[in-house]
Structure 1
Amino acid sequence: MKNDRTSMTDSQFSIPHSQIPPGYKQTEVGVIPEDWEAVVLDKVTQRGSGHTPNKQHPEYWNGDIKWISLKDSERLDKPYIFDTADKVTKAGIANSSAVLHPKGTVVLSRDAGVGKSSVMAQDMAVSQHFMAWQCGETLKNFFLYYWLQFKKSEFERIAVGNTIKTIGLGYFKELRIPHPPIAEQTKIAQALSDTDALLESLEQLLAKKRQIKQGAMQELLTGKRRLPGFGDGKGYKQSEIGMIPEDWGIQQIGDFCICFSGGTPSTSNPNYYGGRIPWITSSDLNEIRIKSVKGRISSNGLANSSAKMVEAGTLLIALYGATAGVSAITEVSGAINQAILAIKPLGKCSEYLFQYLRLRKDFYIKTYTQGGQPNFSGEIVKAFLVALPPSEQEQQAIAAILSDMDLEIGSIERKLTKTRQLKQGMMHELLTGRIRLVEEAQS
């Protein structure tokens, strides 16, 4: 059967009664279709929570019963929760206020990680930091799960507390939800579940491609694997950074690169900012390939500061702050400040060095900085050791393979972002009834 999809615009959802469209009504949960209800969640579910068995009793722990706690934050916000960090015993349940909830129970964190939710894939217990709902005959558990996901930002907003944000139990006793006919709940949940399945497949593909790229970097940038036409019959030798091909060399970045950093125009002079010159900051380096930047400085700002211009194609590395050690290639010409070092190889391949810096980032941080937030200087970066193939042609060949992998990974990342945005839009439309999924016979 075909679906009858009735859509409504944002303007049709304003509060004044005169603007409520035909077939819809104003309720405590907003404007919803006339054949939907606004119900107190407790009326259509059995609400529960949990407890933490006494940790002074080892016989209460390490049993067979999975027990959802704040340690499981990363396992939530997925349709199902399959496993938990901690497990309890039957004795732990019997001698505490913990409850064994049945498979299919919907859980929501009301403390740290407020608003994270999931559905139990099997019978489980929860700590006191969670709400648990067993859905009655008129409420589909996955409809509730997706509605909780949709309202997550509201849960985060109303949580209170200085150190740990929390939502009191009283809020959940009065919580109301939109309640479509059961058939429509099923269709809504299925549509969103299909999108989740696509997201999961993309996330798995992305993880696989990243793993393949990391393996390729480890092999190609160390010479463990040579490309056809390069290094035929060559052996290996020991170097300052480990085994490398006998025809490769080790050089410091400062030996074959021109390196410079910039400065920051005075922030007290508004005439130095808002001009036409792109202002590249260390946070922009997270993009790996810098295609655009938000910041701008003026020609006066550039002339009256130590800011330096860099050309498109220049390799950049962040010297300090949260992005220390992160490198990128800018695809726009712009100015840099003192937190960025520009690196321009002479007679070497920039793309090869870029990939090498990415591979060795953690090593450089561990080797050249001590504890806390890493901070580099230009002199430290110039002292970085790099394994270099003997010809620029081999460097380019290695870089081309790794760059193609980056392009493929970037394509998957963009598709993943678009699919996440699509899901958010679908939740907004379907869970408010703006778009209907009903049979023609019901139209």
Structure 2
Amino acid sequence: MVNDLAVRADTARRCAEAKFHFKDTDAGSIPSDWNAAYVEDLATITTGGRNTQDRVEGGDYPFFVRSQKVERINSYSFDKEAVLTAGDGVGTGKIFHYINGKFDAHQRVYVISDFSERISAYYFYLVFASNFYDRIMQMTAKSSVDSVRREMIARMAIALPSRIEQEAITEAVRDADALIDSLEQLIAKKRLVKQGAMQELLAGRRRLPGFDGEWHEAQLAKVAPLQRGFDLPNSRLEDGPFPVAYSNGVLNSHREYMVKGPGVVTGRSGTLGRVFFIDNDFWPHNTTLWVTQFNGNDPKFIFYLYEFIGFARFASGSGVPTLNRNDAHAYRVKLPPTRNEQAAISTVLSDLDAELEALDTRLEKARQLKKGMMQELLTGRVRLV
């Protein structure tokens, strides 16, 4: 895994800010020793020739359609370094891809390639992806863009530092990307570890040291029954110290509470399957179900047990999904013989959650670091050479 502290230190070392004069250009205000040029003077602009139905599951080559998802295909029309963007569809102006190799593309995907010696393809990708949406939004009176015309790309001005500085910028961004990728992979592995631990510990397949005795089986209605939450229109919300839990999480606070904490809440209508543990007194919204009593069970263990069960399985209704409480209450689960074992299991899982939370925080900081770094480097406010 890339050492994030080393990357940050190295980036900071190289990103010492220097004082330069700036000049106004079609690419905005840029350092006086940079140039600006239109995309049509830096690369060729064409489109693919395929349709979405040409995709092949598990095909040999990348197939770029009007989506952030890259499909596969068994043929290729291009073998080069290129930057691609969707010409229309959902996310127009926000979908970008960089590739160096064999690929194919949809007929409404723009392929920008054959770059001049004045610009690095990957540097172009960074500048283009960072600025193109703002450009096309300035060219429309609507709140969104339905399609991209060729001249929108062709007449976009690009800030051009020297090739040496372009390579330094792309290296710094790739370092940041490597850190982000490594953290994402580590988080994915940790989530698998937690999933495996839940499958073993919550089903009694593995016992923690110091515990024995037979597990017993019971219906959820006898373990920790659920009840519908309480109405709270937005017009009645008054900011206060008590969290308001909705089907998709704690999204507001209120000056009053309806339930003493700790509590366990899951979605009743709309978003199903997510389970939330709330330490303090709270207000469960009427889009939720909340545990009315724990019947001597460890509340945190019940939270993990209900998370493990997956309440989405009890969905009913063809329109807005609704959790069928009767089906949930009839579901049978196994429980450890003592509350102490429940607490020990919840402690193991809580420790794994704490690790994941810390990694998520590091990942978000890395993403913000990259975003801020790019804003500085691509405008010349911070120089690497």
Contact preservation (8 Å) 2:266, 2:289: yes
Q: Structure 1 residue aligned with 2:180, among 192, 199, 221?
A: 199
Q: SS of the counterpart of 1:345?
A: coil
Looking at structure 1, the residues matched to 133 and 376 of structure 2 have their Cα atoms a distance apart, in angstroms, of 16
Pair 1:179 & 2:160 matched = yes
* 1:54–1:212 Cα change, 3 Å: closer
CA shift digits 1:270-314 (9 cap, x unpaired): 5x33242535131552xxxx6xx5x34445xxxxxxxx5223421
After the TM superposition, which of the residue ranges 215-224 and 62-71 deviates more from structure 2?
62-71
1:395-431 Cα deviation digits (max 9, x unpaired): 1121111111111111111111111111111111111
- 2:128 equivalent to 1:128: no
For 2:383 and 2:269, the matched residues in 1 are separated by 52
Q: What's 1:418 paired with? A: 365
1:214, distance to aligned residue in structure 2 (A): 0.9
Q: Is the 8 A contact 2:137 2:145 kept in 1?
A: no
1:165 CA displacement: 3.3
Match of 1:358 in 2: 307
Structure 1 residues 71 and 132: alpha-carbon distance in aligned structure 2, compared to 1, 3 A threshold: closer
The aligned counterpart of 2:279 is 331
For residues 371 and 284 of structure 1, the distance between their equivalents in structure 2, rounded to whole angstroms, comes to 19
Q: Equivalent residue for 1:96?
A: none
In structure 2, how many angstroms separate the alpha carbons of the residues matched to 1:208 and 1:69? 28
Question: Equivalences for 1:87-236 in 2 at 5 Å?
Answer: 87-88=74-75, 99-102=77-80, 104-112=81-89, 113-114=91-92, 115-134=94-113, 135-151=115-131, 153-154=133-134, 157=137, 165-231=146-212
> 3-state SS of the aligned residue for 1:317?
strand
Provide Cα deviations, 1:381-401, integer angstroms capped at 9, x if missing partner: 433432211111111121111
Aligned residues: 369
Q: Which whole-Å CA distance do the structure 1 matches of 2:272 and 2:58 have between them?
A: 44
Q: What per-residue deviation string (whole Å, max 9, x for no partner) do you get for residues 36-58 of structure 1?
A: 11210111122222111797xx9
In structure 2, how many angstroms separate the alpha carbons of the residues matched to 1:156 and 1:220?
Answer: 53
Aligned ranges for residues 287-436 of structure 1 at < 5 Å?
293=251, 295-298=252-255, 309-321=258-270, 323-343=271-291, 344-361=293-310, 364-367=311-314, 369=316, 371-376=318-323, 378-436=325-383
1:5 Cα deviation (Å)?
2.7
Which runs of at least 4 in structure 1 moved beyond 6 Å after TM superposition?
60-65, 158-164
Tell me the TM-score normalised to structure 1 length.
0.74
State the Cα distance separating 1:179 from its structure 2 match: 0.9
CA contact (8 A) 1:72 1:85 kept: no
CA distance, structure 2, for counterparts of residue 61 and residue 209 of structure 1: 32
The answer as to whether partners of 2:248 and 2:267 remain within 8 angstroms in 1 is: no
**Rounded Cα–Cα distance in structure 2 between residues aligned with 1:201 and 1:220:** 28
Secondary structure of residue in 1 paired with 2:45: strand
- Give, as a single letter, the amino acid of the residue that structure 1 aligns with 2:200: E
Return closer, same or farther for 1:382/1:156 CA change in 2, 3 Å cut-off.
Answer: farther
Partner Cα distance (1:61, 1:395) in 2? 48
Query: What do residues 157-205 of structure 1 show as CA deviations (whole Å, max 9, x unaligned)?
Result: 4698999932122211211111111111111111001000101101111
Tell me the equivalent position of 1:46. 44
Distance apart, 1:125 and its partner CA: 2.5
Instruction: Give identity over the alignment, percent.
Output: 26
SS of 2:110's equivalent in the other structure is strand
Counterparts of 1:4 and 1:406 in 2: how far apart (Å)? Answer: 35
- Give the match for residue 81 of structure 1: none
Structure 1: unaligned runs, 5 residues or longer: 9-21, 76-83, 90-98, 233-246, 300-307, 439-443
Does residue 273 (structure 1) correspond to residue 237 (structure 2)? The answer is: yes
Provide structure 2 residue ranges, at least 5 long, that are not aligned to the other structure: 1-9
Is the Cα contact below 8 Å between 2:261 and 2:280 reproduced in 1? yes
Rounded Cα–Cα distance in structure 2 between residues aligned with 1:394 and 1:3: 53
> Which digits, 9 at most, give the CA deviation of each residue in 1:146-166, with x for residues without a partner?
112322642684698999932
RMSD over aligned CA atoms reads 3.2
- Compared with structure 1, are the counterparts of its residues 65 and 158 closer, same or farther at alpha carbon in structure 2 (3 Å cutoff)? farther
Flag the 1:273–1:4 CA change in 2: closer, same or farther, 3 A.
closer
Q: Is the deviation greater in 150-159 or in 273-282?
A: 150-159
| Residue identity opposite 2:273 in structure 1 | G
- Matches of 2:327 and 2:51, distance apart in 1: 52
TM-score normalised by L of structure 2: 0.84
2:63 corresponds in structure 1 to 68
Find the counterpart in structure 1 of residue 222 from structure 2. Answer: 255
